[in-house]
Structures are given as structure tokens and as C-alpha cells.
Amino acid sequence: MDEQSDGGQRFDYGAFSFASKDEVLAKSKEFWNPDKTQFWVDSGVPLVIDRREEYFIYDMSGKRLIDVHLNGGTYNLGHRNPEVVQAVTLAMQHFDIGNHHFPSLARTALAEALVASAPPGISKVVYGSGGGEAIDIALKTARHATGRRRIVSIVKAYHGHTGLAVGTGDDRFSKLFLSDRPDEFPHVPFNDLTAMEEVLAGRDVAAVIMETIPATYGFPLPEPGYLEAVKALCERYGSLYIADEVQTGLMRTGELWAITKHGIDPDILVTGKGISGGMYPIACVLVNDRAAGWLDEDGFGHISTFGGAELGCIAALKALEICSRPETRSMVHYISDFVGQGLRRIQTEYPDWFVGIRQNGVVMGLEFAHPQGAKHVMRQLYENGVWAIFSTLDPRVLQFKPGILLKPELAEELLDRVEVGIGRAYREVRGGARPRGVAA
């Protein structure tokens, strides 16, 4: 940031320069996304992220926030994790995105590391540039392997917004673009095995795609035995099981891949977000031999210029290595116990307001007794220096996602701030206030 000649601050970053936050917001509405920009202003969260480091983000105003949104785990390892920055910076002396048609050092090294990290049976890796593309690859792979077209997901699933992925999700996102296809993408209620069996019994389903804990739905936990039974149904009726670990993978549940806690060996496992180390986009589709057939038959079957970009592979190798360290695992167990206990203590103060805690490791959903409760809490936390986001498909629930390397002192500060924010939101709601800017 530079000093202006009139003494004011100027936000000058070489490639671009702005005089003020107001200018950014105005131009954001003019040239980028008017509705989204206004939504946050109306919601009382007029955030324009400037500096970022560790688990902190700083608004252009200088306001500091502890980040427990982490973009769904993208910043699992913190913002600009120094080890990831170093690995990518070093790599830039030698590599760039690479040529996606040819074998590559970085792509091969990452594929080997991912296969070694994966549940039994996984043998190959296909790359995308983001989670949605990776999900599309997974769905195409399942269709090729089974010769079937239908894909089953849960009601209120969220697997991204690309061509096929969007069909697996809520109508809210598919209908806008005339992309809802209920015939090809049946949705069944979560935790309902009867509905799952009914749809699979037709033996025309290529795959069931399931998040190990559905994030955008507010992290409702699978009932004991549910995922295991879905996998068994897949086997009985010849469908593949796709584990979407875009949010739940990479040690967030205290295991590298959450699905292994259920003893399930998925046919396909998708990772995204955090595998980028928060520094270079990449997403990966891990497949077993049953699914991998097209890679022998026609390796050019899926082409993506940026899929498996070599700098992304290097960021991913470092992220995977950090997540796999024994000390990282211990840290996640410590943080999840500490934060879980703190939240349960806060809950006792507001038993008729803060009505539920859904938790598996540092994957957490906080449930409030109001249809838009998490929006109130989100805003009060923002005011009080914490950034956590409501669940788009269930705004009663706040997504609460502490980082896997969170230091105990910061966890303590976080809990203090959360306690205050939850109390303020309670008084706001009981005083009859309605959340601002909330259409739905």
C-alpha cells in the first residue's frame, strides 16, 4: 500500500491500483458481479480481502479476521503457507503449467504420491483444474466403466457447477441455466437407505456420488452404517461409489481421507480445494482399476489444458506431504477436541438458540434455532473479527472450519470471539431483527 500525495492511502500493487475500498466495490459491481457484490454489502459483510497470512485475512480497511471459512478447506494449511510458497517459487525457476499432452515429471510424481496415500484399490490419477471439472471427470469415468448413464446424489448435494456436476446438485443452481436433468440425475434424501435401494435396484445407475459429510448442506453427519450400506448397495446393483472428498479430505477429519474412517474403498475419490495448497489451482480424481478403463482405451478421452498444471502438482505434492505428517494428525486431534469442548461450553449458555454441533475432526457445523440463524451469527462474528460462512443449502447452520495447523493460542482467541458473536446474534434475533440482504 502506498501513500498518496494528498496523504491518503492508495492500494497500489503494480498490476493494478485503487484509491479506496469504495472504488473497488463500485467497479466490482460495474465490471464483475453486481448481485454478488451487493449481497455481501447488504449482508453486513462488505469484505474485500487484502493482505492474508496464516489463518488471518485482512479487509482493505485493515480489519483483521480469523478465517474459519477457509474456502471449504482451500486454506487448510493457512494463507500463503510458507512451505507451499517456497515449493512453488522454487518450481517457477524451472517449470510452468506444462504441456498437458505429454508425460510430465510433476504430474507423474504427484500421481504416484496420491496413489500411495489412497484407500486400497486406487491405482491411477486423472487431473482437473478445479473441483467441478474433477467431478465431471469422475462422472464420465463411471459412465464409461459401467455403460450406464444415471448418476445418483443426495437431495441438497453440492458437487460444483460444471456441466455434469451441476446436475447432481440443488435445483437452485441448475435451473437458472436450464441444466436440471432429473431423469439422468435422480436425487434421494440423505440417510434414507430405502430410497437409495429403490433407485439403484433398476440397475441403470453408473454411480452414487456422495460427500463423506455433505458440506454445503451444513455438515449433517451420516447415520452410523449409512455410507457403508450405500457402498454395499452399489456393489449389489453394479454401480460405482464416488467419494467426493473435496471438503472432507486432507486430514480435516483427523484421517487423510475421511472415507477411510468408514472402512470404504471407493471406486473413485475426488480431491480439490486444499490439495492446491491454496496457491495454485488443481484437482485430482483417484480411480481404481474398475474405473480406469478409458485411460487404456483412449487416453485423450478427457483433455484439459490446465488440468494437472505442473505448478499445481508441485503445490499439491507439498500440501499432501504436510497433511500426511504425524504431527499434523496430532494437531488436528488436539484442535478438534479443544474447539469442540469450547463450543459445547458456549452451547450451554444458549441452549434454546445454539441447538446443535455437528463435528467430525475440524469439520464442524453449528446449528441455530432460526431458519436464517447462521446468517445472523455470521454477521456478528464478522463484526467481532471472525470469518465463518452460513451453509447455502441450510442457513440455520454455520460452517465452522478451523485450520488443521491452528495454534492453540489462536484457537483460544477464536473461541472467545465466537462466544461474544453468538451471544450478540442471540440478542439480535430474540429482539426480532431480520438478517439484512437475505432474499431466500
Ligand X SMILES: Cc1ncc(COP(=O)(O)O)c(C=O)c1O
Q: Which residues bind ligand X (CB under 6 A)?
A: 72, 130-132, 135, 158-160, 211, 215-216, 244, 246-247, 272
Least separation in angstroms between residue 273's CB and ligand X is: 6
Q: Which is nearer to ligand X, 125 or 425 (CB)?
A: 125
Least separation in angstroms between residue 6's CB and ligand X is: 41
Task: Give one word for 260, left, alpha or beta, with left for phi > 0 and alpha for psi -120 to 50.
Answer: alpha
Least separation in angstroms between residue 19's CB and ligand X is: 32
How far, CA to CA in Å, does 158 sit from each of 56, 129, 217, 405? 27, 18, 8, 26
DSSP 8-state class, residue 335: H
User: Is 384 in contact with 421 (CB distance < 8 Å)?
Assistant: yes
Q: Which is nearer to ligand X, 134 or 366 (CB)?
A: 134
CA–chain centroid gap for 29, Å, is 26
Q: Which is nearer to ligand X, 144 or 159 (CB)?
A: 159
Question: For residue 344, what is the enclosing H or E element?
Answer: helix 326-349
Closest-CA residue to 135 (of 110, 114, 164, 155): 164
* First and final C-alpha spacing in the chain: 38
d(CA 142, CA 209): 10
In degrees and rounded to multiples of 5, residue 27 shows phi and psi of -75, -30
Q: Which residue has its beta carbon closest to ligand X?
A: 131
Least separation in angstroms between residue 243's CB and ligand X is: 10
Q: Which is nearer to ligand X, 132 or 385 (CB)?
A: 132
Q: Which is nearer to ligand X, 160 or 421 (CB)?
A: 160
Least separation in angstroms between residue 70's CB and ligand X is: 11
d(CA 432, CA 440): 18
Least separation in angstroms between residue 77's CB and ligand X is: 17
CA–chain centroid gap for 282, Å, is 13
Least separation in angstroms between residue 96's CB and ligand X is: 22
State the burial class of residue 273 (Cβ atoms within 10 Å of its Cβ: 0-12, 13-18, 19+): buried
Cα atoms found within 13 Å of the Cα of residue 255, Cβ hemisphere only: 12
Report H helices in 7-152: 21-27, 34-42, 82-91, 105-117, 131-146
Least separation in angstroms between residue 338's CB and ligand X is: 25
Least separation in angstroms between residue 425's CB and ligand X is: 25
Task: Give one word for 67, left, alpha or beta, with left for phi > 0 and alpha for psi -120 to 50.
Answer: beta
Q: Which is nearer to ligand X, 25 or 242 (CB)?
A: 242
Q: Which is nearer to ligand X, 78 or 249 (CB)?
A: 249
- For the CA atoms of 182, 185, 189, 194, what is the dihedral angle to 10 degrees? 100
Q: Which is nearer to ligand X, 217 or 354 (CB)?
A: 217
Q: Which is nearer to ligand X, 158 or 368 (CB)?
A: 158
